[in-house]
A and B are shown apart, each in its own frame.
Chain A
Amino acid sequence: MKSEPVRFAADLGLASCHTCGKLSPVKSGHCPRCGSGLHLRKPDSLARTLAFLLGSIAFYIPAMSLPVMNVSGLGGGEQSTILSGVVTFWEMGSYPVAIIIFTASVLIPILKIAALAWLCLAATGRFSGTHKKMALTYHITELVGRWSMVDVFVVAILACLVRLGNLMTITPGPAALSFAAVVILTMLSAMSFDPRLLWDQRRATPTP
């Protein structure tokens, strides 16, 4: 298919702008079109990705173990964590709610953290996979992360709605904020990852 060998921008001293995608010599320092700084690769991509990733793992522990909301009413107070909420809804027979919360709050963050860790390993050459798989993993981590915010919004909506004549109040617990931190940090982590590192790694190892 390919008649001439593939040339790579970094070898030619060309950088494509992170903001607008225009290709220009990296020596010029700033993109002539939009003025953003030019770099061959996102600066400190791996270090930043890992730092945000470790931060999100640290926040994931309180997000899961502390109560996400406090329900106080006539029958006394009650605290529920994300997992206990899922279990309650499953037992009540509200399967859709249980499945949505479980997917958004437990499955997606864990899968996203694992996928980013895997991509970091692949970018340092400690792990090799087919390019298609890595590209797919990267796109999925980009797309899916925001949906984890759903539980934070649920707490906000419930806190607003459940003020029924002072019968019952719902206040957000400490896990809600930790959970928002997990989502924001994993999003920042995915944004700072430079997928070109994966291909660089592949080019560095001689193909048999």
Chain B
Amino acid sequence: MRRHHHGLPWPRRDRDEQVACEFCDAVQPAPRLREGEGAYCGNCGELLYQNRPRSLSRATGFSIAALIFMLLAHSFPFLTMSAAGASTKLSLIRCARALSHDGDVLLSWLCIFFTIIAPLALVGSLLYMSAPLLYGRALPGALQIARWFQRSEPWAMLEVFLLGFIVSLLKLGHLAEIHFNIGLWSLVALVICIAGATAGIDRRELWDRLELAVDPAPKPEPVDRAG
């Protein structure tokens, strides 16, 4: 059974949920929203959360596509450059290898982390959560994975790498003959897919749905023994 109905708010476990603004700490009721609507803080005006249209199916689709493009971007070079009878190829792995070859092992590991490990963790964890949530389920360890997803988000810097690529080409453009390969177009597509996957989903929606999928029964009201 599909749990995501177009246009409707996402389900929640607690009916009268409250939310505190992350910016000014004002407590306010957290209404359920129809798709396309956003909830804003009544005190300071910050965005509290949004219901983005078809967020789960978008996140699933974009992250599957991103994984495929990631595979392509790693297996094909971005470009071939030839000058003076010699030619070199560029890919993420080769880039890191060139750095470690020149003795800067730490820098090479940083590049691997920012451009390979963090994006993979981001996309992989998003797919692991969002695909089963389409059917109202959560796979084992989903809560831990959700934390990984949030932590890896700022560290995935493929779009910055792409800008670095453009700058390097502008620097080298007239030095050699350059042919673009499949790897580059896959990298461009990968950056777009990661943006689509992460922009599609709101964290609060993800957590609300996860909570419901992990433990659907509402807990009894906690008894305040101190009071």
Contact = CB atoms under 8 A, between A and B. Distances in A.
A51 interface: no
A2 B42 contact: yes
Contact of A157 (B95, B107, B204): B95
Interface residues of A, number: 63
Given A160-B95, A172-B102, A7 B26 contact: yes
A177 B176 CA distance: 28
Interface in B153-212: 154, 157, 160-161, 163-165, 167-168, 170-172, 175-176, 203-204, 207, 210-211
B86 A16 contact: no
A160 B94 contact: yes
A22 B97 CA distance: 43
A64 B22 CA distance: 36
A94 interface: yes
A180 interface: yes
Contact of B95 (A150, A156, A171): A156
Interface in A110-143: 131, 135, 138
The CB with the most chain B CB atoms within 10 A, among A9, A20, A160, A169, is that of A160
Contacts of B114: 149
Contacts of A21: 19, 22, 49, 203-204, 207
Interface string B46-62: 10010000000000000
A65 interface: no
Contacts, number: 183
Contact of B207 (A2, A22, A177): A22
Contacts of B226: 27
B68 interface: no
Contacts of A101: 167
B22 A161 contact: no
B191 to A, nearest CB: 13
A171 B111 contact: no
A6 B84 contact: no
A208 interface: no
Interface residues of B, number: 64
A137 B152 CA distance: 23
Contacts of A164: 81, 83-84, 86, 88, 175-176
Contacts of A90: none
B207 A196 contact: no
B43 interface: yes
B102 A153 contact: no
A19 B150 contact: yes
B41 to A, nearest CB: 10
A158 B111 CA distance: 13
Interface of B: 17-20, 22-27, 42-44, 46, 49, 81, 83-86, 88, 90, 94-99, 102-104, 106-108, 110-111, 114-115, 143, 146-147, 150, 154, 157, 160-161, 163-165, 167-168, 170-172, 175-176, 203-204, 207, 210-211, 219, 222, 226
Given A33-B210, A153-B163, A172-B104, 10 more contacts: A12-B27, A20-B204, A21-B19, A94-B170, A135-B46, A153-B111, A153-B165, A159-B102, A164-B88, A172-B99
A-B pairs, 9 with minimum CB distance:
A153-B164, A165-B86, A9-B20, A160-B98, A199-B24, A20-B207, A16-B20, A157-B168, A171-B102
19 contacts: A2-B43, A9-B20, A16-B19, A19-B150, A27-B226, A33-B207, A36-B147, A100-B167, A131-B44, A152-B110, A153-B163, A154-B164, A154-B167, A156-B111, A160-B95, A160-B98, A160-B99, A164-B83, A165-B85
